[in-house]
Structure 1
Amino acid sequence: MLQTLAITGPIYLVIALGFLAGRAGTFSKLDMRVLGTYVVKFALPALVFTALSQRRVDEVMNGRYVLGYAVGSLVVMMAAFGWAWRWQGKSFTLSALCGLGCSSSNSGFIGYPIAILAAGPSSAAVGLAMCMLVENLLMIPLALVMADSGHAGAGKWYRILMQSLSQLSRNPVILAIVGGLAVSLIGIPITGVLARTINMLAMSSAAVSLFVIGGTLTGLKTKGMRRDVTTIALGKLLLHPLAVGLMMWLVPPNDPTLRAAAVVFAATPMLSIYPILAQKYGFEEMCAAALLLATVLSFLTISIALWVLGPVLGWAA
Structure 2
Amino acid sequence: MSSSVLAPLVPVVLCIAVGFAIARIGWVRAGAIPDLANIVFLVLTPALLFRTMGQVRVQELDFAPVALYFSAVALLFGGTLALQGWTSAAAARALAHTFSNTVMIGVPFIGLVYGESGLVTLFTLVSLHSLILLTAATLVFELLLAPPGAAAGDGAPHARWRTLGRAVKSSIIHPVPLPILAGLAWGQTGWPVPGVLERVLALLGSAVGPTALLLVGITLAYTRIGEHWRGALRIALVKNLAMPLLVGAVAWALGLSGQAVAVMCTTAAMPVGANVLLFTQRYGTMQDEVSSAIAISTALALLTLPLALLGAQWLTR
Q: Please, what TM-score do these two structures have when normalized by structure 1?
A: 0.89
Query: What is residue 79 of structure 1 aligned with on the other side?
Result: 79
Cα deviation, residue 157, structure 1: 2.8
Query: What is residue 103 of structure 2 aligned with on the other side?
Result: 108
CA distance in 1, matches of 2:59, 2:225: 45
Say which of 144, 149, 159 aligns to 1:150.
Answer: 144
Matches within 5 A, 1:222-233: 222-233=225-236
Query: What is residue 267 of structure 1 aligned with on the other side?
Result: 269
1:23/1:282 CA distance change after superposition, 3 Å: farther
Question: Cα deviation per residue 1:25-64 (whole Å; 9 max; x = unaligned)?
Answer: 211223121111111112111111122111222223x120
2:192 counterpart of 1:189 = yes
Matches within 5 A, 1:50-199: 50-60=51-61, 62-85=62-85, 92-123=87-118, 125-151=119-145, 156-199=159-202
1:145/1:16 CA distance change after superposition, 3 Å: farther
Structure 1's unaligned 5+ residue stretches are 87-91
Query: What is residue 260 of structure 2 aligned with on the other side?
Result: 258
1:195/1:203 CA distance change after superposition, 3 Å: same
Query: What is residue 23 of structure 1 aligned with on the other side?
Result: 24
CA distance in 2, matches of 1:283, 1:308: 32
Specify the structure having the higher radius of gyration (Cα): 2
Say which of 219, 223, 237 aligns to 2:222.
Answer: 219
1:70/1:25 CA distance change after superposition, 3 Å: same
Counterpart of 1:109 in 2: which secondary structure? coil
Q: Please, what TM-score do these two structures have when normalized by structure 2?
A: 0.89
Coordinate RMSD, CA, aligned: 2.2
Percent sequence identity is: 27
2:42 counterpart of 1:47 = no
Amino acid in the other structure paired with 1:99: A
Question: Cα deviation per residue 1:121-160 (whole Å; 9 max; x = unaligned)?
Answer: 222x212212212321100121133234434888743222
Cα deviation, residue 164, structure 1: 0.9
Counterpart of 2:33 in 1: which secondary structure? helix
CA distance in 1, matches of 2:63, 2:242: 22
Say which of 291, 294, 306 aligns to 1:291.
Answer: 294
2:245 counterpart of 1:242 = yes
Q: Is the 8 A contact 1:213 1:272 kept in 2?
A: no
Moved over 4 A (4+): 151-155, 250-254, 311-314
